[in-house]
């Protein structure tokens, strides 16, 4: 009897020791790409609260300072899922067959063109009758030096601002810089125009720099999108659906709690720990309030192409067309990317509902 009891105990201990290993084997590790800004708060929060583990995932949040840096890392499979700007999304689709699998947030008021308060541009209000909030005129802008992160959301914001003034990039001098370098250089007197996304734009506003325009004031939409490696997504649709469910859980959390004190506190910590930025509670609240997000139902409507081109596809097409007009893409490349069908809702449709 004692031998039987000892045998049973031995088996139970072995099973207990093996259980964590089995559970660990069931968790799928995913390399995901993110930038130091608002959309990354959702997966960061998921890691903090264990939402990814509840879906059987282990998200590795890889830091990139721009969307183009993300796209350059895609061919080497350094990541398989994540978030990027609408502009680099076009490049990713064209060059690397990347999918746009969802929407991150609305950045139409979070990518801003700044000038110094004593700039002639700041004093030239009302030139555009169609876009009355836009500052500047052809005379005050032509020949000026612009600091911008090229082929990015801020690049698109710059192009829209110039278009509102009847100008193109050929009318100004473009200086490529990352966002942190733009803030440092502009503060030292380098350049005439600085184009920044949030949260760098909040630092600019605190310094008293003048907002000259943004996509919304120029009559355009600018989405931050969720992106996936085509090969991985096609082979692992259920995993992609789980990834989207994790992200959308963060969206639902923000829609429910908004910029409450608890969320603001977490956001300040997220900015400090993951993004490496010191942000006040007031800045955090502003950043949260300045980035509308879409839940699953809203995303499915924006991706619905049953009656023709979907809204999400239209936003991407307009971005591609604009950069083609600017000479960034060739007409044949535009035709190719428009035929790829890279904007797809097939993975959103795999999301298990309801999303918590």
Residue 280: how many other CB atoms lie within 10 Å? 13
The domain defined by 111-213 folds into D-Maltodextrin-Binding Protein; domain 2 (3.40.190)
Query: Is the distance from CB of 196 to CB of 112 less than 8 angstroms?
Result: yes
pLDDT at 152: 87
Sign of torsion, CA 199 202 204 207? negative
Q: What is the pTM of this model?
A: 0.85
The β-bridge partners of 68 are none
Domain ranges of the chain: 27-107+222-350, 111-213
List the 223-228 sheet strands across, edge first.
57-63, 28-34, 81-85, 223-228, 99-106
**Going residue by residue through the chain (356 aa), what tens digit of pLDDT does each one get?**
444 444 444 444 444 444 444 344 589 999 999 999 999 999 999 999 999 999 999 999 999 999 999 999 999 999 999 999 998 999 999 999 999 999 999 999 989 999 999 999 999 999 999 999 999 999 999 999 999 999 888 999 999 999 999 999 999 999 999 999 999 999 999 999 999 998 999 999 999 999 999 999 999 989 999 999 999 999 999 999 999 999 999 999 999 999 999 999 999 999 999 999 999 999 999 999 999 999 999 999 999 999 999 999 999 999 999 888 878 889 999 999 999 999 999 999 999 999 99
pLDDT at 113: 98
Which are the contacts of 208, defined by CB distance < 8 A and separation ≥ 6? Answer: 117
Which are the contacts of 343, defined by CB distance < 8 A and separation ≥ 6? Answer: 100, 303, 310, 312, 313, 316
CATH architecture, domain 27-107+222-350: 3-Layer(aba) Sandwich (3.40)
- Report the relative pairing of strands 81-85 and 28-34 from DSSP bridges: parallel
- Measured between alpha carbons, how far is 83 from 67 in angstroms, rounded to an integer? 8
- Measured between alpha carbons, how far is 29 from 87 in angstroms, rounded to an integer? 28
pLDDT at 17: 47
Q: Is the peptide bond before 354 cis (omega within 30 degrees of 0)?
A: yes
SS3 content of the chain, % helix, strand, coil (to 5): 50, 15, 35
Query: Is the distance from CB of 303 to CB of 310 less than 8 angstroms?
Result: yes
- Measured between alpha carbons, how far is 312 from 159 in angstroms, rounded to an integer? 20
pLDDT at 326: 77
Which are the contacts of 130, defined by CB distance < 8 A and separation ≥ 6? Answer: 164, 219
Q: What is residue 273's DSSP assignment?
A: I
Q: Is the peptide bond before 173 cis (omega within 30 degrees of 0)?
A: no
Under DSSP, is residue 28 helix (H, G, I), strand (E, B) or coil? Answer: strand
- Measured between alpha carbons, how far is 255 from 252 in angstroms, rounded to an integer? 5
Which residue is listed with tokens 């110094």? 116
pLDDT at 25: 54
Q: How far is CA 323 from CA 25, 74, 201, 253, 262, in A?
A: 45, 22, 23, 35, 41
Per the structure block, which two tokens stand in for 166? 């009847």
Residue 68: how many other CB atoms lie within 10 Å? 21
Which are the contacts of 17, defined by CB distance < 8 A and separation ≥ 6? Answer: none
Query: Is the distance from CB of 211 to CB of 113 less than 8 angstroms?
Result: yes
The β-bridge partners of 111 are 197
Per the structure block, which two tokens stand in for 235? 């082979």
DSSP code per residue over 28-50: EEEEEEE-SSGGGHHHHHHHHHT
- Is it true that 27-107+222-350 and 111-213 share their CATH fold? yes
- Measured between alpha carbons, how far is 10 from 174 in angstroms, rounded to an integer? 71
pLDDT at 2: 47
pLDDT at 102: 98
pLDDT at 322: 84
């Amino acid at each position: 009897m004692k031998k039987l009891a000892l045998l049973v105990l031995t088996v139970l201990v072995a099973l207990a020791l093996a259980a964590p290993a089995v559970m660990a084997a069931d968790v799928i590790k995913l390399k995901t790409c993110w930038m130091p800004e608002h959309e990354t708060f959702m997966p960061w929060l998921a890691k903090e609260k264990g939402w990814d583990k509840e879906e059987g995932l282990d998200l590795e949040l890889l830091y990139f300072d721009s969307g183009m840096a993300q796209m350059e890392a895609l061919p080497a499979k350094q990541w398989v899922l994540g978030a990027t700007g609408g502009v680099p999304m076009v490049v990713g689709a064209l060059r690397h067959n990347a999918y746009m699998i969802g929407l991150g947030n609305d950045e139409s008021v979070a990518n801003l063109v700044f000038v110094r308060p004593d700039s002639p541009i700041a004093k030239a209000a009302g030139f555009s009758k169609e876009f009355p909030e836009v500052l500047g005129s052809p005379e005050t802008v032509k020949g000026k030096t612009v600091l911008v992160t090229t082929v990015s959301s801020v690049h698109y914001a710059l192009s829209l601002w110039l278009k509102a003034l009847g100008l193109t990039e050929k009318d100004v001098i473009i200086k490529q810089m990352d966002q942190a370098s733009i803030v440092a250089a502009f503060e030292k007197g380098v350049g005439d125009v600085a184009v920044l996304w949030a949260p760098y734009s909040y630092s600019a506003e605190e310094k008293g720099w003048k907002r000259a325009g943004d996509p919304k004031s120029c009559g355009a939409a600018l989405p931050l999108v969720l992106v996936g490696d085509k090969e991985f997504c096609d082979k692992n649709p259920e995993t992609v659906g789980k990834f989207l469910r994790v992200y959308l859980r963060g969206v639902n959390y923000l829609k429910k709690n908004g910029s409450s004190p608890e969320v603001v506190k977490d956001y300040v910590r997220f900015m400090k720990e993951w993004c490496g930025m010191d942000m006040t509670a007031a800045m955090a609240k502003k950043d949260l309030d300045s980035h509308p997000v879409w839940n699953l139902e809203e995303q499915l409507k924006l991706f619905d192409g049953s009656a023709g081109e979907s809204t999400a596809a239209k936003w991407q097409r307009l971005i591609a067309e604009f950069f083609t007009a600017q000479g960034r893409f060739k007409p044949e490349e535009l035709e190719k990317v428009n035929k790829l069908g890279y904007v797809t809702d097939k993975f959103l449709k795999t999301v298990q509902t309801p999303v918590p």
